[in-house]
Amino acid sequence: MKLNCTTAESAVAAGEYWFLSQRFEGQDLAALNKGDAQAKALTLSFWVRSTKTGTFICMLYDATNTRHISQAYTVSSTNTWEYKTLTFAGDTTGALANTNARAFDVWWFLMAGSNMTSGTLATSWASYTAANNAVGQVNAVDSTSNLWYMTGVQLEIGSTATAFQYETQGANLLRCRRYYAQRAAANSILYGSSNTGGLNYSNWSFQVPMRAAPTCTGQTGTQQQLNADSAGAFNTGPAYAYWNVDSTASADL
């Protein structure tokens, strides 16, 4: 991933911040044993390259129980790929919700105002206090010359980073389709009457079940019966109901 600063923010206000985040469903995290005596440590590894050197902050956020833990890492050389590993202790407080909803995040800060930097960095799990999020964070968006890259991200149970686990494009595409789908062609599969005054229908069946009933865009007609497996649209004849080219379905966290 490449982040290019196109509008500089050199005078950072107290409430300003910029971070990149990855969200997780609670039901994918049972193996963490979060909230009990067997809570597992987590190790985050990634490659980073930045025109801005200095201290950067990475944070884990428990969205179920509003708890957090942060660690600092250093970008030592400008425009140079550097490998980082951060190990976070297990949290014996606060079990994660075992559902398909957002329960856990990883945040990579690039900039933070005093509302998130005026306290003491939360290097142990604690109830969320914004001032302790990103203490020491450098401002990586203070110039339109700034670039920040990241690749090879891996979050795993344990205290040691292992080699990056490469996966096939096909396997990753199926995972992506759980959260987002976009049509490459119009779908005018019709049911019912297309006569004037009659109703006709168009159904969009998703290639994999989505995380939840999605938010859809791009249909001609009125949406109905949205669920994890499919989306419907209807229209009054003789105008056909369509799921148009580039129609989208999003079940993001």
> Cα–Cα distance between 248 and 170 in angstroms, integer?
20
Tokens of 104: 């856990």
The pLDDT of residue 201: 87
> Cα–Cα distance between 85 and 74 in angstroms, integer?
11
Taking only the tens of pLDDT, the chain with its 253 residues reads 999 999 999 999 999 999 999 999 999 999 999 999 999 999 999 999 999 999 999 999 999 999 999 999 999 999 999 999 999 999 999 999 999 999 999 999 999 999 999 999 999 999 999 999 999 999 999 999 999 999 999 999 999 999 999 999 999 999 999 999 999 887 666 555 556 677 888 889 999 999 999 999 999 899 999 999 999 999 887 778 888 889 999 999 9
CATH of region 2-166: 2.60.120
Virtual torsion, Cα 218, 222, 226, 230, nearest 10 deg: -60
The pLDDT of residue 189: 62
- Note whether 13 and 115 are within 8 A (CB): no
* CB proximity list for 178: less than 8 A, separation 6 or greater: 208, 209, 210, 211, 251
The pLDDT of residue 75: 98
- Nearest Cα to Cα of residue 134 among 2, 16, 1, 252: 16
The pLDDT of residue 3: 97
Q: What number of other Cβ atoms are within 10 A of residue 78's Cβ?
A: 11
Instruction: Give start-end residues of each CATH 2.60.120 domain in the chain.
Output: 2-166
- Note whether 244 and 220 are within 8 A (CB): yes
The pLDDT of residue 200: 84
Residue 73 CA from chain centroid, whole number: 21
**Cα distances (angstroms) measured from residue 47 to each of 38, 73, 92, 125, 169:** 30, 12, 29, 25, 20
Residue 172 CA from chain centroid, whole number: 15
